[in-house]
Amino acid sequence: MSKTSAVDTIGILTSGGDASGMNAAIRAVARTAWDRGVKVKGIKRGYSGLLNREIFDMDRTFTGDIISRGGTVLFTARCEEFKQEEYQKKAAEILHEEGIDGLVVIGGDGSFRGAQKLAQHGVNTVALPGTIDLDIACTEYTIGFDTAVNTAMEAIDKIRDTSTSHERCSIIEVMGRNAGYIALWCGIASGAEDIIIPERFDGNRPKLEAKLIDSILEKKALGKKHHLIINAEGIGHSYGMAKRIEQGTGVETRATILGYMQRGGAPTAKDRVYASYMGALAVDLLCAGASNRVVGYRNGQYIDYDIEDALGMAKDVDEYEFQIAQVLGR
Nearest to 43 by CA among 17, 68, 18, 77: 77
Q: Residue 62 CB: number of other CB atoms within 10 A?
A: 16
Run of H or E including 204: none
Strands 55-57 and 124-129: unpaired
Q: Is 284 a catalytic residue?
A: no
CA 272 to chain centre: 14
Structural contact between residues 310 and 138, judged by C-beta atoms closer than 8 angstroms: yes
Strand pairing partners for 174? 232
Distances (CA, A) of 308 to 132, 177, 294: 22, 23, 9
Q: Residue 329 CB: number of other CB atoms within 10 A?
A: 19
Q: In which region does residue 265 sit, left (phi positive, over 0), alpha (psi from -120 to 50) or beta (all else)?
A: left
Catalytic residue among 133, 135, 146, 271: 133
* 3-state secondary structure (DSSP) of residue 173: strand
Catalytic residue annotation: 133
